[in-house]
Structure 1
Amino acid sequence: MILRLLARRPVLLALALVVAFALPWLIYPPVAMDIAAWALFAVAVDLLLGYGGLLSFGHAAFWGTSAYTTGLIALHTGLPFPVAIVGGALAAAVLAVPIGYLSVRLSGIYFAMVTLAFAQMIYFIVNQWRDVTGGENGLQGIPRELFGLDLSDPFLFYYAGLPFVLVGLLVAWRIVRSPFGQVLMSIRDNPSRARALGYPVDRYRLLAFVLSAALAGLGGGVFAISHGFASLHDVYWTTSGQAVMMVVLGGIGTLWGAVLGAALIVSLNDYLATAGFEETGIITGLIFVVIVLLFRKGLWGTARDLTAARSGRHRPAAVPDPPSSASSSERLDQVAERSGR
């Protein structure tokens, strides 16, 4: 009964908003802000992986570039932190254009490796450009300037930074439910048919790549302002890997699953670190293996399918296995009719 009630979209959305606003009352506010920022990052990765079928191990480049850009703007211009965050997201989007242009023509492991190579190149540049980025020391003392308001209290800053995350999540939700999102999913399922109908497949993938990078950058900017520093870890490939793990843990192609995965991983890392356990990767890795083996569609995807089965309604997975060419064909036909193709 509870699962059936939660399956209703308005109820689920209202509950999610209540949890988002109550989170700093339930856990340590900086951890709550980390959950929100990482949730947006994971959703950005899921937008490309779950709905575009492209696995990127290079999104740390956009998360970290935005963190450094946000920090530089806040440190050297004195502008309010919302302007710095938007500037960081724009920088991530601009960086994604050439990287995406050279990457989206590939797929599968080749796409993943190319994005990883570009991310490591960004890491090398950030590490060597010490006069600007601070090198191994990173950028420290990033201010939270907002027209003279004192936002040094993490509890207050959570509510100042949360709107950026909510807007980013809303944009991602709107993208996957727009005609663009429908075509993107059809390209994921059947790129040959999409080309036959006249859709520029590479252009759609490039736009999805840039939008995903911008959302990742938005989360990276919030993260940098929240912590007051930007470090080399933000642009290192393990940051990308952690975001991918969050998506797989929650459920690929669900959006809600990415949020759930981020909340679980960040909370677990904080709990283990507080308990003095240094090798947190061992525990999170074991949990990841168990989830992959027992819940092939992730936690959210599995719960969604169980809810649909109990209610007597069949809801196909966001990422069909194997891909259904019939569903992708119908989706492309519907979009083509709307656009007059």
Structure 2
Amino acid sequence: MLTHTKETPGRAPAKRRLKEAIVPLAVGAVGVLLLAWAGASGFRQDLLVLLAVYALIALGMYIPFVLAGSLSMAYAAYAAIGGYSVAIISTETGLPVIVGWIIGPIVSAIVATILSLLTRRLSGFFLAAVTLLFSMAFEPWLIEAKEITGGSAGIGGIPSPEFFGWAPPRLLLVAGALALVVVIAWLIERIRTGSWGVTVRTMRDVPSAVEAMGVRVSTLTTVSLAVGAAIASFAGAIFVSFMLSITPETFTLSIVFMAIFIPLIGGQGSAWGAVLGALLVVQLTQNMPGFEGSGQLVLAIGVLIILLIAPAGIIGYAQKLWAALRGRQAKETNNV
């Protein structure tokens, strides 16, 4: 005879907290393994930097695109703003470099807000088309604004990051970049499961219901686009802090198109899917021995295979397998 015990009130929150902590701990463990794998290899460290850059741009797109359903194609411009902010502050002023890290997200959020207000009557393809044109026009503007951006040559000779006169080892800086990705992904996941995230997802599916609640859809969309732009600007700041140079061609539209597929690969049901997708994109495009120069083709084939096998992404497929295993285990237990 099976007996059922009533769960104590404190056990459910404890289980929920444990479940919420498992993913960040697992991601942290993977990060430690990646740092150990990179070691003193400059090439492998650069791969981890690219992982952080791709992940931050994808996380920046996650809130407005995946949650709110607003596809903006201006993220190459936002990443460039973050990169140029750090570059200009580092080379042209005597201010600490952290000022560039603060100015970049603020300027990107302001630009995204202005774009959102100008395109508030647009959605879907038309919103993507207008923001795509903005991103295409941003690169020529960087070339023309020679006094600020250095023109087509860009800005070089950027000093390595220092903290009170101390220059940390490069591997430690890489660890900091990965830690920033983990923190932002964790915050976005908390937002996604919170009341604001539920409201945003409801706006994506049933905007009239959100309007009936007294929340303006246009305001919510603007906020999501501004937050996403601020996150994407950190990608440019990280890139400049490691590569110590930036040009108008550093962030092109190709990285935006790639970022669209990153959550599809990892799984749209969680912000961690953007991190996992970025890891796979870097592996498929940059670290495939024997396929040099064919990274985009390898990525396209990899995306096709993943979406055929797991339409909900790798995380969604893993959750489905886990649920099936738990259901099978519960069935076997009931049959005992």
Same fold (TM over 0.5): yes
Q: CA deviation at 1:263?
A: 0.6
Q: Report SS of the residue matched to 1:48.
A: helix
- Tell whether 2:276 aligns with 1:260: yes
Residue number in structure 2 paired with 1:333: none
Q: Which runs of 5+ in 1 are unaligned?
A: 1-6, 314-341
Q: Residue type of the partner of 2:107?
A: A
Q: Residue type of the partner of 1:123?
A: E
Q: CA deviation at 1:206?
A: 0.5
Question: Which structure has the larger Rg over C-alpha atoms?
Answer: 2
Q: Is the 8 A contact 2:189 2:272 kept in 1?
A: no
Q: Is the 8 A contact 2:27 2:182 kept in 1?
A: no
Q: Is the 8 A contact 1:63 1:235 kept in 2?
A: yes
Equivalent residue in structure 2 for 1:23, among 11, 30, 34: 34
**Sequence identity of aligned pairs in percent?**
28
Using the alignment, how far apart are the partners of 1:12 and 1:171 within structure 2?
13
Using the alignment, how far apart are the partners of 2:120 and 2:256 within structure 1?
18
Q: CA deviation at 1:259?
A: 0.5
Using the alignment, how far apart are the partners of 2:182 and 2:238 within structure 1?
12
Using the alignment, how far apart are the partners of 1:303 and 1:162 within structure 2?
23
Using the alignment, how far apart are the partners of 1:295 and 1:163 within structure 2?
28
Q: Is the 8 A contact 1:29 1:158 kept in 2?
A: yes
Q: Residue type of the partner of 1:183?
A: T
- Tell whether 2:197 aligns with 1:189: no
Q: Deviations over 1:241-300 (max 9, x none)?
A: 11112122112242111100101111222214x657113211112212222333221222
Using the alignment, how far apart are the partners of 2:243 and 2:290 within structure 1?
21
Q: CA deviation at 1:190?
A: 0.4
Q: Deviations over 1:118-147 (max 9, x none)?
A: 211212211222232223322222222322
Q: Deviations over 1:184-231 (max 9, x none)?
A: 010011012222332200100100000011111122211221211222
Equivalent residue in structure 2 for 1:167, among 183, 189, 195: 183
How many equivalent residue pairs?
305
Q: Report SS of the residue matched to 2:69.
A: coil
- Tell whether 2:286 aligns with 1:300: no
Equivalent residue in structure 2 for 1:249, among 258, 265, 290: 265
Residue number in structure 2 paired with 1:287: 302
User: Under a length normalisation based on structure 2, what TM-score does the superposition of the two structures give?
Assistant: 0.83
Using the alignment, how far apart are the partners of 1:92 and 1:196 within structure 2?
31
Q: CA deviation at 1:25?
A: 1.5
Counterparts of 1:28-47 in structure 2, within 5 Å, are 28-47=44-63
Equivalent residue in structure 2 for 1:131, among 127, 135, 147: 147
Q: Is the 8 A contact 2:82 2:100 kept in 1?
A: no
Counterparts of 1:51-130 in structure 2, within 5 Å, are 51-130=67-146
Using the alignment, how far apart are the partners of 1:306 and 1:55 within structure 2?
31
Q: Given the superposition, is the C-alpha separation of residues 101 and 234 from structure 1 closer, same or farther in structure 2, using an over 3 Å criterion?
A: farther
Using the alignment, how far apart are the partners of 2:194 and 2:111 within structure 1?
25
Counterparts of 1:189-338 in structure 2, within 5 Å, are 189-272=205-288, 275=290, 277-312=292-327
Using the alignment, how far apart are the partners of 2:188 and 2:120 within structure 1?
20
Q: CA deviation at 1:14?
A: 0.9
Q: Given the superposition, is the C-alpha separation of residues 222 and 119 from structure 1 closer, same or farther in structure 2, using an over 3 Å criterion?
A: same
Q: Which runs of 5+ in 2 are unaligned?
A: 1-17, 39-43, 329-336
Q: CA deviation at 1:163?
A: 4.2
Decide which moves more: 303-312 or 261-270: 303-312
Using the alignment, how far apart are the partners of 1:104 and 1:255 within structure 2?
26
RMSD: 2.2
Using the alignment, how far apart are the partners of 1:71 and 1:267 within structure 2?
28
Q: Is the 8 A contact 1:50 1:254 kept in 2?
A: no
Q: Is the 8 A contact 1:89 1:214 kept in 2?
A: yes
Q: Residue type of the partner of 1:14?
A: L
Q: Given the superposition, is the C-alpha separation of residues 37 and 82 from structure 1 closer, same or farther in structure 2, using an over 3 Å criterion?
A: farther
Residue number in structure 1 paired with 2:25: 14
Q: Given the superposition, is the C-alpha separation of residues 131 and 253 from structure 1 closer, same or farther in structure 2, using an over 3 Å criterion?
A: farther
Q: Report SS of the residue matched to 1:311.
A: helix
Residue number in structure 2 paired with 1:321: none
Using the alignment, how far apart are the partners of 2:177 and 2:103 within structure 1?
15
Using the alignment, how far apart are the partners of 1:255 and 1:306 within structure 2?
19
Q: Is the 8 A contact 1:86 1:218 kept in 2?
A: no
Q: Is the 8 A contact 2:24 2:182 kept in 1?
A: no
Using the alignment, how far apart are the partners of 1:136 and 1:206 within structure 2?
32
Residue number in structure 1 paired with 2:15: none
Using the alignment, how far apart are the partners of 1:217 and 1:245 within structure 2?
19
Residue number in structure 1 paired with 2:4: none
Using the alignment, how far apart are the partners of 1:234 and 1:67 within structure 2?
9
Q: Is the 8 A contact 1:119 1:237 kept in 2?
A: yes
